Amino acid sequence: MEYLCQGELRKKITNKTKVSIAAIRHLAVELLCGLQFLHSKGVVHRDLKPENILIDKKGHVKIADFGLAATNVIGNNKVTLECGTSGYIAPEVYDDGLYNRMADYFSLGVILFEVAFKYHPFYDGKNDKRMKRCITQDEPRYPEEADPDLLDLLAKVSSDTVPVGQEK
């Protein structure tokens, strides 16, 4: 296994240095390619979060920790076990517990939001029990000064989150 010297993506979030839109796009493309590969093999990660994304010396990312991954999720197959890390679990997992690979894209949108704005789009840091309600009922808390290009990028990634049964 190669050494990923830049460690977890969480470092880029806790480091308050602003990340450029170009760097966020690069991160989005690499993660989308990784998810696309996994999904083409019938794998749904189910625990995508900054701690499970590692960065090498060239800035390339690797998705890690497949302990909760579901396999053989091909075509219209669905997954029913509610699992993952609070704050990154897609609304459809909470709502009816029936989901597919699209749940990973919700997690990706949350991660990119955190990298861009340095805070979680739903979580206020005070009450973990509110997280489920916030994710299923609230809109993300965008900063007023958010760059329109960045908001567009986040919307495009999030638009991949289609309710189960309505995939294209």
Q: Which residues are known to be catalytic? A: 47
* Cα 97 to Cα 84: distance, rounded to the nearest angstrom: 12
In angstroms, the CA 132 to CA 95 distance is 9
Check: CB of residue 101 under 8 Å from CB of residue 44.
yes
Beta carbons of 158 and 152 less than 8 angstroms apart:
no
Strand bridging mode 53-55 / 7-8: antiparallel
